Structure 1
Amino acid sequence: MRTSSLLTALATGSVVAAAPKPWSHNAARDVNPFEGKTQFVNPAWAAKLDQTRQAFLAKNDTVNAAKTEKVQQTSSFVWVSRISELSNIDNAIAAARKAQKGSRKRQIIGLVLYNLPDRDCSAGESAGELSSEKNGLEIYKSDFVTPFAEKVAAAKDLDFAIVLEPDSLANLVTNLGVEFCANAAPVYREGIAYAIQKLQHPNVHLYIDAAHGGWLGWNDNLPLAAKEFSEVTRLAGNHTKIRGFVTNVSNYNPFNAVVRENFTEWSNSWDESHYASSLAPFLEQEGLPAHFIVDQGRVALPGAREEWGEWCNVEPAGFGPAPTTRVNNTVVDALVWVKPGGESDGQCGMAGAPRAGQWFDEYAQMLVKNAPPSVFNKRS
């Protein structure tokens, strides 16, 4: 997951939005799906953090070992990034049902659907298993999206918040100058539209990835992004089929910036709350629902980056604020942890980083040490 290194050059444009068209929707669709529910705590990710806790104990650091235990009790999304990982959905459903039976409070499971052909077209650190040149789109539809949808549809006793294809449509907004992205554009659009069509169930709430403020939050990019999202939802047949959008997936931007970084000087989207507010009127202009969830699984500490284009194993960083629906922004449904902290972004950034997706315990330890108090005093 990354930001194009060219994005900061887009800072100086100025676009004034016309009065947004009212979004035609019914009241049921406008209910925040996270309200009154328990966000799912993924035991598979919590188990990986046992290594982190043991590392602190080996150093007689009981304070951070105890903090790690709190992190292990924090909700996070489950990634389904390959056909072989469809079983992750089954495991999450079984664990959520067990937790729901114990608490008698309905669970909402966060899932990431992430396996488009020609994935990560402009960087390649998270390139996937499918290629459009090898019948990848048809395989994606039949062997990945269809069984994915069948599994969540069958679990009517649970709710699902599903993030659709991080980075994909953002690349079509800014990176069509990259030949691989230009060739992948129709595949991305058709694939995501198909996923939207297949995931139409009352217990499913869809959030299309909208990158982050440092990527699409510039004045020139906001209307282009909304038009791209609109095109894909029209391909799906009915734009009211999505709940909204997700921002900052696998990135490091704060929801509310304590310090405004110098590299945000020319942007109205200097943190993710401002980005959501900046993008919302353009979405409404296109007839799209302006609802957001924001990934705060990791947040860079002030001064950690010299530019927004630094996206890989940024240091210093910490776990972000605990998942919650208590946010001071009416277009935001919830803060969530989409990226499982401790999994590497790739062999870049902090020294010793392994390949993307592999466990990076030194990084996990840093995230624990720099986590804010809300993680240890969580509120729903």
Structure 2
Amino acid sequence: MRVSSLVAALATGGLVAATPKPKGSSPPGAVDANPFKGKTQFVNPAWAAKLEQTKKAFLARNDTVNAAKTEKVQQTSSFVWVSRIAELSNIDDAIAAARKAQKKTGRRQIVGLVLYNLPDRDCSAGESAGELSSDKNGLEIYKTEFVKPFADKVAAAKDLDFAIVLEPDSLANLVTNLGIEFCANAAPVYREGIAYAISSLQQPNVHLYIDAAHGGWLGWDDNLPLAAKEFAEVVKLAGEGKKIRGFVTNVSNYNPFHAVVRENFTEWSNSWDESHYASSLTPFLEKEGLPARFIVDQGRVALPGARKEWGEWCNVAPAGFGPAPTTRVNNTVVDALVWVKPGGESDGECGLAGAPKAGQWFDEYAQMLVENAHPSVVHKW
């Protein structure tokens, strides 16, 4: 059971006035404070606009209940993905929208961004292969044409906070998938690229979270110390004094934070939901001198019985939008629940018949996520 689950998992505008200061601004020197506390997580209007199609589909069936639920989803914060050089403008759009919201509410905004464009990206699965290749000067292009302008943009927006997710799935592949030649060849590129991103994003308003996959991938007892060592190597490579806030788990996956029902395929793992995974990984991170702080993606959560094993990761059904983003969590090492993956965007041409390519809008799936949405999305805490 454990072996089969593990093998399957491997496949896988205007400036804000300087005074008064927005509520939620961190006091000087408060480096250990939870950056999400007292702030408003950014609601991405570009993603909300895509859900208009979903709402119209419900209204066309006279389903006013789910149309109203869709409106609640549209008001829920989610991360902005920057997955290609051409998408760097997404940062500008997010900054302008966050400033507008901050000016309107007087509350400090924290904008979630995903930095996702390593050369030879997605070396084991390939559904989300990127635009850069290490064979074609990809690492240098990544540094100069992607990471540097990314860093410059967030550094200039000192009136906002940013929570930045670094390169989903990348280091996890180096923990478990070096037997795949493409991943083995990509390993030094991944390490150097992420280390460069860490060193480039050292701003007081920027909070970095390295991707740590999920409990079904790295949560096994044998993988936990290997994962911590891999993360420590990359942080060390970033240079002395370079810091991260912590780690992000479950990006684009379907694991619950607190499992209501423990699935049979988790039987042999202590990391049987993402809260347990964070707790399982914590002592190994601390042993390596790393900060054991987490954010957990709950943008999509599989319904009990939806999967036969953790390795099912593509357009899993049935699923629903997970718990609403919040800092009210029952785990002292977790900063916040967040929605990193924008629900409704396909995982790839897999999982369900008719699924479009990775990243394209899959409205039938979005409708299912709304129908099965966690109650907290409709009745926000």
Same fold (TM over 0.5): yes
Q: Counterpart in 2 of 1:290?
A: 292
Tell me which amino acid in the other structure corresponds to 1:338. Answer: V
Is 2:95 the partner of 1:88? no
Residue of structure 2 in register with 1:261 after alignment: 263
1:108 aligned counterpart, secondary structure = strand
**How far apart in 1 are the matches of 2:29 and 2:114?**
26
Residues 101-140 of structure 1: pairs in structure 2 closer than 5 A: 101-140=103-142
Q: Secondary structure at the match of 2:217?
A: helix
- Which residue in the other structure is 1:43 paired with? 45
Runs of 4+ in structure 1 over 6 Å off: none
Task: Show the counterpart of 1:375.
Answer: 377
Q: Which amino acid aligns with 1:62?
A: T
**Aligned partners of 2:300 and 2:321 also within 8 Å:** yes
SS at match of 2:30: helix
Q: Residue 117 and residue 5 in structure 1: after superposition, are their counterparts in 2 closer, same or farther (change >3 A)?
A: farther
How far 1:29 sits from its partner (Å)? 2.3
Structure 1 unaligned residues grouped into runs of 5+: 11-25
Taking the aligned partners of 2:304 and 2:80, their CA distance within structure 1 comes to 28
Query: Aligned ranges for residues 1-380 of structure 1 at < 5 Å?
Result: 7=6, 28-238=30-240, 241-379=243-381
**Which amino acid in 2 is paired with 1:371?**
A
CA distance in 1, matches of 2:280, 2:161: 29
Unaligned stretches of 5+ residues in structure 2? 10-27
Report the identity percentage: 86
TM-fit CA distance, 1:372: 1.2
Q: Is the 8 A contact 1:112 1:163 kept in 2?
A: yes
- CA separation in 2, counterparts of 1:193 and 1:298? 29
Residue type of the partner of 1:214? G
Change in 2 beyond 3 A, CA 1:239/1:321: farther
| Residues 304-351 of structure 1, C-alpha deviations (whole Å, 9 max, x = no match) | 000000000000000000000000000000000000000000001122
Contact 1:239 1:288 in 2 (8 A): no
- In structure 2, do the counterparts of structure 1 residues 98 and 200 end up closer, same or farther at CA, with 3 Å as the change threshold? same
Cα distance, 1:240 vs structure 2: 5.4
Please give the secondary structure, in 2, of the residue aligned with 1:49: helix
Deviations 1:9-58 (A, max 9, x none): 99xxxxxxxxxxxxxxx972210000000000000000000000000000
Aligned AA for 1:220?
A: D
Tell me if the contact between 1:240 and 1:288 (Cα under 8 Å) persists in the aligned partners. no
1:39–1:110 Cα contact (<8 Å) kept: yes
Secondary structure of 1:241's match? coil
Letter in structure 2 aligned against 1:365: Q
Cα 1:226–1:294 shift into 2, 3 Å: same
Contact 2:119/2:138 (8 A) holds in 1: yes
Distance in 2, Cα, partners of 1:302 & 1:232: 36
Instruction: Specify whether residues 9 and 59 from structure 1 end up closer, same or farther in structure 2 by C-alpha distance, changes over 3 A only.
Output: closer
Cα offsets for 1:165-205 (capped at 9, x unmatched): 00000000000000000000000000000000000000000
In structure 2, what is the Cα distance between the partners aligned to 1:177 and 1:282? 24
One-letter amino acid of the counterpart of residue 125, structure 1: E
Q: TM-score, normalised by structure 1?
A: 0.93
Count of paired positions? 361
SS of 1:28 mapped into structure 2: coil
Give, in whole Å, the separation in 2 of the partners of 1:334 and 1:376. 19
Moved more, 344-353 or 322-331: 344-353
Q: Comparing both chains, which one has the higher relative contact order based on Cα–Cα distances under 8 Å and sequence gaps of 6 or more? A: 1
- Could you report, residue by residue, the CA deviation over 1:88-107 in whole angstroms, capped at 9, with x for unpaired residues? 00000000000000000000
